């Protein structure tokens, strides 16, 4: 609740997406008196913003009467989805460390990509269904997530890949997935312009820019997490049968992050795999004897705090620092 209130009381200058669409959507729906009128707004608004976010903006405007309502409810959905989603699989990981990782590495990121983060948080809530192999419930979660961002259908890949790699010959199955991921990133522009443009032309701009090339900053910020989980690979796999899957997701997310060399919009695709870093590092803090746990937790917390300072304070990622009240 504190995190959600903090997000709600922020100035419009904190987080780029507030001025890009949140503020304008709020002002648009604040003049609407009922749901029927809401879905008869100008075509531009309906086509540009998913229905779930429009309804949320409508509720925020009527209940709170200010932009605070929309920003607060947006953050509340995100934080609730993440906290409950991680809590539902707490027997597999160190829950407290998972929350620390989220707060230092991703919370300020939720001030941007707000609609996508709502979709991502809902998918994180549904991770339990990947563990339980409950495809029906997971598909329902995906459908709900698409109400806030259309790209949420990418989340179905988590279930599909888990079902594929968590079988005999895991190593070779992981190799196949990673190879396809590399090919997909290298030929991303061709795929978007020839396939996605026919289905969802709105996302054609994801392929604007030069060809994909190595983007070292995105590699550098992920190497510590991957290195820790690689060193502890065997004990982590013994502790949690899903470790191989989450480690694969971390590698995939790192590869997909190279799409930032094209443009930020393309790099957002990899955000749907961000949960892998939270889960993997918190699994690493769950295994071993007492001293090993203390060491792992210390390293992970140190990494998260340094990440927070470098990304959000030093480089000013997402325009979230300095924080200003509205």
pLDDT band at 208 (very low <50, low <70, confident <90, very high): low
How far apart CA 306 and CA 288 sit, in angstroms, is 25
Asked whether residue 209 carries a pLDDT value surpassing 60, the answer given is no
Contacts of 216 (CB under 8 A, 6+ apart): none
Query: Peptide bond before 322: cis, by omega within 30 degrees of 0?
Result: yes
Asked whether residue 307 carries a pLDDT value surpassing 80, the answer given is yes
DSSP of 99-149, one letter per residue? HHHIIIIITGGGGSSHHHHHHHHHHHHTHHHHHTT-HHHHHHHHHHHHTT-
Q: CB neighbours (10 Å) of residue 82?
A: 26
pLDDT by residue (tens digit) across 94-140? 999 999 999 999 999 999 989 999 999 999 999 999 999 999 999 99
pLDDT of residue 224: 93
Q: Which helix (H) or strand (E) holds 38?
A: helix 35-38
How much is the pTM? 0.89
- What is the rounded average pLDDT of the residues 178-183? 89
pLDDT of residue 299: 95
- What is the rounded average pLDDT of the residues 67-91? 96
pLDDT by residue (tens digit) across 254-284? 988 888 766 666 667 888 899 999 999 999 9
Helices (H) and strands (E) in the chain, counts: 22, 0
pLDDT band at 166 (very low <50, low <70, confident <90, very high): confident
pLDDT by residue (tens digit) across 2-36? 999 999 999 999 988 888 888 888 888 888 888 87
Strands annotated E in the chain: none
């Amino acid at each position: 609740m504190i995190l959600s209130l903090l997000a709600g009381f922020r100035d419009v200058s904190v987080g780029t997406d507030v001025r890009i669409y949140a503020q304008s959507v709020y002002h648009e729906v604040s003049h609407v008196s009922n749901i029927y009128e809401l879905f008869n707004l100008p075509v531009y608004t309906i086509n540009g913003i998913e229905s779930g976010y429009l309804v949320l903006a409508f509720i925020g405007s009527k209940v709170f009467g200010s932009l605070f309502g929309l920003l607060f409810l947006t953050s509340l959905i995100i934080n609730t989805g993440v906290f409950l989603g991680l809590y539902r699989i707490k027997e597999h990981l160190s829950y407290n460390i998972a929350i620390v990782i989220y707060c230092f590495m991703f919370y300020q990121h939720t001030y941007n990509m707000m609609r996508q983060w709502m979709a991502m948080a809902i998918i994180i809530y549904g991770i339990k269904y990947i563990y339980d192999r409950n495809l029906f419930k997971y598909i329902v979660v995906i459908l709900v997530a698409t109400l806030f961002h259309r790209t949420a259908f990418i989340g179905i890949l988590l279930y599909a890949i888990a079902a594929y790699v968590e079988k005999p010959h895991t190593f070779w199955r992981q190799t196949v997935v990673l190879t396809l991921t590399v090919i997909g990133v290298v030929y991303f522009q061709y795929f978007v312009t020839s396939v996605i443009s026919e289905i969802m032309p709105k996302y054609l701009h994801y392929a604007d820019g030069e060809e994909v090339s190595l983007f070292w900053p995105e590699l550098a910020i992920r190497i510590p997490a991957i290195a820790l989980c690689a060193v502890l690979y065997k004990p982590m796999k013994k502790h949690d049968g899903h470790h191989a899957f989450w480690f694969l997701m971390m590698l995939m997310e790192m590869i997909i992050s190279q799409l930032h060399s094209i443009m930020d919009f393309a790099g957002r695709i990899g955000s749907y795999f961000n949960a892998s870093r939270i889960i993997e590092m918190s699994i690493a803090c769950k295994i071993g004897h007492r001293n090993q746990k203390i060491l792992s937790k210390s390293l992970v917390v140190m990494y998260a705090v340094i990440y927070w300072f470098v990304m959000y304070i030093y480089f000013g990622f997402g325009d979230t620092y300095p924080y200003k009240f509205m």
